[in-house]
């Protein structure tokens, strides 16, 4: 705020006298707000809304994961699930705006309690409904985008509708005087949002990994029931009679006692409810688009591990909630909240853009690159401490600033007790629709066509447009002196420079991935992710999500992983690969002359763009030969979902899967996924997978009746029949003249594989006792949550 705006706010605070009636003239409900009973009511409902918010983020994480197994975890279907979730919340807010104001304070509190009970009931039914029915029964039957959206929307409609009703109901229950509406509603919303942030942090970093998804749902249900009980317990303290609505006469009296000139009174009157709803839509769009951008960029900093999304979301919501709480106190000193609303959007955008530029520059600073550079391991402590600090520094300040917006808007729109619920519901609806639009546009459109840098510019430009709108409104229409809005002019100027000076997408990602002038960078980005190949003399790593997943030519283990299945199977005509990366594994899978088709599925579409660009420069490389081979069919999508719904059966299926501690990796290492793979094999077909941990190996052994753990390469081979593994025969096939000619572009030392498959191997059959350790399941992917569960190497696996 400028100094003149600060003085105006202070004057407005002192001028509220005419609206605050004498205690004797207060209605019964208003008098209640000054007593100890009111403190008990407010405290109990704040605690209830805290518990509700904490549980909500547990649910969102788990429900999105369950529905991801049904719909697939690619970018489009993930956006569909988020859209369905937000649509339910929006419908709840819309419904609240239509009926909540007809309820008394007691009925509103009772309605909130009923909503919490419904949400708790749905949480307890999530396993049989969302997983057993939707995922396992409906998954293979419903495959179109509209069918997926319909199931996700209807599946989540009951709990999300109840969640959308909660804030309008609580607002109706706690507000008895219009003067306290903004601060009370803001305080409740801030507590709920901060609790959601804690739910994301504590749930994502401890609860889910320690007790699993299903037990976490039970914990969430207990919190919802606690919230409902608290709301019921305070019912006797709420007045039976409805507080008197603000009378038109009171408004007229307030205007009569207002000694300010007419232009000042017009400014205080502010925008109408419709204008504020549109502005809240724009703010909601802005804040979620910014969040999507943070997830894309900061997720890479931590190598997209299972904890980083919860970290970003938790810090964002916690800071946002604290901003709402602080704004609830600040707003009491303000009369006209329009200027502060636009300023916090502008300041948040300025900080967001400048902090991302600072991050980009930091990658060229040796001490930073030594800890958080893309060539360093960053999934464990102490590197994770630096990741946490970085996320807090980049996300928390703008999230806090944007949190101030909510009470500012409530202060502007809450003018009548008789329409509290309607106004809260309508504004909340605008915010939710803005959130949904921002998520869909940034996640599916902007990142796809403009990249991360273009999306950053777009987010900054939106905040700039909001600021310019306010300056036009204040200076051109209301004839306010430009000097009074010097801060807004300065922020707009800085923001314009930040938007124009933000680095290009190529420059930004080249800097992050440490591409030097003498190296060739091949960059591709779309809605599904970022891929960069850092090439020098035709060789170099491929980075996916900020991690060197593979390289050209391939690492020897990747070639062996792809070649092992076809080298073992007597006639591998149909082969499927899950994961393509730099093509080493899928290329090796085509070595057998009997192979007629190789179907490779890759989740991150830019991988193919990068491979095509590399092949154009190196047509005789392994990548060029694979892309020119007519036997290969390369598709984009979720490999698990492809196995689940395609109905095809293969002689060999191989998974060059992501690390087991990467986000969503549990979907490719769980016993349920392995059962899907086993069902997709022809009789005698084999499945080949890397064994990075003992738990991965033990999960594998629990599903396949026959198998071999090939050591020391640590590769698992499983089948429904005895696996014809013979190390000498495999080596003979690999080092035959045909094998050598096929492997030449891979530049691997074929005779050295004798050491990798020399043994001693671990072989099992149906009657072989299995290890009794914990396994990875869909609802408890223990290896994915590696900080919560001890992880042992596969070399420690022993048969009883």
Q: Which residues contact 619 (CB under 8 A, 6 or more apart)?
A: 628
- Name the strands in the sheet holding 529-535, side by side, starting at the edge strand that comes first in the sequence: 520-526, 529-535, 540-544, 547-552
In angstroms, the first-to-last Cα distance of the chain is 71
Q: Tell me what pLDDT residue 276 has.
A: 96
For residues 619 and 614, give the distance between their C-alpha atoms in angstroms, rounded to a whole number.
8
Name the residue among 148, 124, 185 with its Cα closest to residue 68: 148
**Sign of torsion over alpha carbons 331, 334, 337, 343:** negative
Q: How far is Cα 511 from Cα 154, in angstroms, rounded to an integer?
A: 44
CA 637 to chain centre: 19
Residue 259: Cβ-neighbour burial (10 angstroms; 0-12, 13-18, 19+): exposed
pLDDT band at residue 346, thresholds of 50, 70 and 90? very high
- Mean pLDDT value of segment 363-375: 96
- Take residue 123 and report the two structure tokens written for it: 């949480």
Per-residue pLDDT reduced to its tens digit, 471-496: 999 988 888 888 889 999 999 999 99
SS3 600: strand
Q: How far is CA 3 from CA 105, 486, 569, in A?
A: 40, 10, 79
Residue that the structure tokens 């996640």 belong to: 443
Q: Is the pLDDT reported for residue 12 higher than 90?
A: no
Of 718, 708, 800, residue with least CA distance to 760: 708
Q: What's the whole-number mean pLDDT along residues 714-736? A: 97
Residue 64 CA: distances (Å) to CA of 59, 70, 787: 8, 10, 22
Confidence of residue 243 (pLDDT cuts 50, 70, 90): low
Comparing CA positions, the residue from 711, 570, 709, 713 lying closest to residue 652 is: 570
Residue 116 and residue 250 in contact, taking contact as beta carbons nearer than 8 Å: no
pLDDT at 247 over 50: no
Element housing 597 (H / E): strand 597-602
What is the bridge-based pairing of β-strands 574-578 and 650-655?
A: parallel
Which DSSP category does 655 fall into?
Answer: E
What tokens were used for 421? 């619920």
pLDDT for 244 equals 53
Q: Report pLDDT digits (tens) over 76-91.
A: 777 778 888 888 999 9
Instruction: Kindly report the average pLDDT of the chain as a whole number.
Output: 90
Write the DSSP symbol of residue 138.
I
pLDDT at residue 286 tops 50: yes
**How many Å apart are CA 764 and CA 797, to the nearest integer?**
12
In this prediction, residues 529-543 reach a mean pLDDT of 97
Q: Tokens 């891929």 belong to which residue?
A: 531
Q: What does the alpha-carbon distance between residue 745 and residue 618 come to, in Å, rounded to a whole number? A: 11
What does the pLDDT read at residue 438? 94
Give the whole-angstrom CA distance, residue 531 versus residue 465: 32
Tokens linked to 302: 């931590």
Tell me the percentage of the chain whose pLDDT exceeds 70.
92
pLDDT of residue 256: 39
Specify the residue for token string 């805290």: 50
pLDDT tens-digit profile of 647-660?
A: 899 999 999 878 89
In a 10 Å sphere around its CB, with 0-12 CB exposed, 13-18 middle and 19+ buried, how is residue 277 labelled?
buried
Q: Grade residue 263 by pLDDT with cuts at 50, 70 and 90.
A: very low
Tens digits of per-residue pLDDT, 686-699?
999 999 999 999 99
Is pLDDT of 32 > 50? no
Nearest Cα residue to 5 out of 335, 389, 418:
335
């Amino acid at each position: 705020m400028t100094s003149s705006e600060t003085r105006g706010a202070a004057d407005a605070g002192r001028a509220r006298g005419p609206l605050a009636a004498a205690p004797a003239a207060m209605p019964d409900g208003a008098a209640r707000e000054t007593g100890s009973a009111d403190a008990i009511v407010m405290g109990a409902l704040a605690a209830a809304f805290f518990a509700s918010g904490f549980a909500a983020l547990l649910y969102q994480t788990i429900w999105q994961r369950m529905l991801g197994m049904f719909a697939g975890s690619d970018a489009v279907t993930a956006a569909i699930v988020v859209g369905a979730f937000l649509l339910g919340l929006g419908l709840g807010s819309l419904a609240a705006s239509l009926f909540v104001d007809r309820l008394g304070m007691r009925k509103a509190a009772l309605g909130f309690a009923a909503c919490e009970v419904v949400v708790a009931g749905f949480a307890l039914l999530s396993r049989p409904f969302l997983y057993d029915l939707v995922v396992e029964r409906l998954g293979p039957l419903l495959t179109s985008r509209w069918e997926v959206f319909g199931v996700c929307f209807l599946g989540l409609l009951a709990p999300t509708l109840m969640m959308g009703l909660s804030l309008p109901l609580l607002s109706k229950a706690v507000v008895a005087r219009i003067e306290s509406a903004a601060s009370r509603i803001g305080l409740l919303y801030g507590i709920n949002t901060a609790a959601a942030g804690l739910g994301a942090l504590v749930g994502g970093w401890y609860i889910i990994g320690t007790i699993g998804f299903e037990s976490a749902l039970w914990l969430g249900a207990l919190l919802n029931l606690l919230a409902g009980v608290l709301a019921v317990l305070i019912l006797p303290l709420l007045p039976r009679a409805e507080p008197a609505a603000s009378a038109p006469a009171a408004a007229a009296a307030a205007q009569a006692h207002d000694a300010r000139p007419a232009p000042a009174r017009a400014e205080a009157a502010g925008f109408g409810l419709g204008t504020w709803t549109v502005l809240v839509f724009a703010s909601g769009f802005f804040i979620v688009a910014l969040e999507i951008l943070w997830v894309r960029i900061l997720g890479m900093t931590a190598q997209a591990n299972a904890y980083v999304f919860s970290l970003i979301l938790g810090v964002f919501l916690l800071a946002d909630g604290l901003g709402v709480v602080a704004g609830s106190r600040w707003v009491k000193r303000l009369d006209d909240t329009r200027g502060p609303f636009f300023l916090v959007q502008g300041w948040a955008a300025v900080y967001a853009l400048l902090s991302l530029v600072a991050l980009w520059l930091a990658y060229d600073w040796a001490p930073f690159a030594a800890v958080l550079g893309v060539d360093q391991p960053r999934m464990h402590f102490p590197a994770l401490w630096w990741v946490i600090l970085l996320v807090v520094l980049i996300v928390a300040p703008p999230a806090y600033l944007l949190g101030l917006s909510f009470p500012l808007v409530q202060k502007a729109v809450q003018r009548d007790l008789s329409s509290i619920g309607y106004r809260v519901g309508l504004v909340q609806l605008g915010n939710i629709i803005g959130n949904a639009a921002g998520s869909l546009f940034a996640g599916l459109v902007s990142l796809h066509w403009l990249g991360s840098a273009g999306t950053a510019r777009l987010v900054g430009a939106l905040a700039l447009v909001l600021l310019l709108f306010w300056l036009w409104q204040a200076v051109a229409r209301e004839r306010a002196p430009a000097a009074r809005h010097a801060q807004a002019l300065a922020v707009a100027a800085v923001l314009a420079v930040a938007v124009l000076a933000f680095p290009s997408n190529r420059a930004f990602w080249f800097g992050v991935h440490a591409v030097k002038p003498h190296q060739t960078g091949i960059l591709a980005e779309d809605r599904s992710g970022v891929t960069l190949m850092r090439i020098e003399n035709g060789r170099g790593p491929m980075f996916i999500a900020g991690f060197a997943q593979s390289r050209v030519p391939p690492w020897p283990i990747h070639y062996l992983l792809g070649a092992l299945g076809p080298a073992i199977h007597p006639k591998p005509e149909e082969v499927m690969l899950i994961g393509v990366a730099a093509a080493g594994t899928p290329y090796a899978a085509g070595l057998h002359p009997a192979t007629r088709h190789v179907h490779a599925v890759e989740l991150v579409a830019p991988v193919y763009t990068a491979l095509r660009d590399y092949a154009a420069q190196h047509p005789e490389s392994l990548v060029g030969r694979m892309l020119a081979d007519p036997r290969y069919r390369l598709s984009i999508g979720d490999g698990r979902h492809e196995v689940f719904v395609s109905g095809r059966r293969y002689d060999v299926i191989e998974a060059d899967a992501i690390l087991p501690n990467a986000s969503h990796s549990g979907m490719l290492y769980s016993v349920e996924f392995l059962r899907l793979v086993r069902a997709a094999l022809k009789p005698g077909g084999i499945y080949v997978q890397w064994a990075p941990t003992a738990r991965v190996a033990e999960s594998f052994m629990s599903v396949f009746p026959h198998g071999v753990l090939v050591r020391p390469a640590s590769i698992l081979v499983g089948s429904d029949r005895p696996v014809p593994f013979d190390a000498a025969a495999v080596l003979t096939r690999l080092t035959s003249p045909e094998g050598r000619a096929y492997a030449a572009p891979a530049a691997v030392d074929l005779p050295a594989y004798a050491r990798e498959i020399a043994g001693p191997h671990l072989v099992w059959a149906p009657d072989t006792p299995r290890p009794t350790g914990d396994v990875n399941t869909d609802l408890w992917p223990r290896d994915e949550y590696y900080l919560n569960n001890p992880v042992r190497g596969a070399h420690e696996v022993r048969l009883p």
